[in-house]
Amino acid sequence: MQAAAVEAFVLAWWRHVLASPDPPYPVPDVFETCAMILGTVTGLFDRWEPGPVPDAHLARCAGAWLDELATDRTPFSWWSPDDGPAVVAEQQAWLARHAPDRLRAVGETDLAVRAALLGLPHDERWAHPYWCGAAVTD
């Protein structure tokens, strides 16, 4: 019963942060804290509906996460090495599927391209022509 109450609180906090144009804590930090408490990123992604404010927060998170995810590493150093690959795959899949259009809508074209590349296997991702003109390379 207490676990359900904690989960309800965390998910309510997450929804509130996503709706707040200027939350008191950085959104990537809130996401990470919520994921740590819940032990999963699934419920957080499930509640990340499109919209101008949530998509602006998505841009901040993508900016914080994409370098690690592009190299198939979790952006969360505390995640168990045994569970890390599954979490990375889930983040990569969600970002590749949901983020590109939303990031373009808030003017983050570079982040949109990089998020879309997460849907490719590692070698194809790094062989993509995008990297020839990108400022950041692997």
pLDDT of residue 138: 43
Annotated domain spans of the chain: 2-130
pLDDT of residue 134: 59
Q: Which one, of 67, 111, 73, 119, lies nearest residue 92 by Cα?
A: 119
In contact, 72 and 124? CB cutoff 8 Å: no
**What pTM value is reported for the model?**
0.90
Positions in the chain whose pLDDT score sits under 50 = 137-138
In contact, 62 and 99? CB cutoff 8 Å: yes
pLDDT of residue 137: 44
In contact, 115 and 95? CB cutoff 8 Å: yes
pLDDT of residue 37: 94
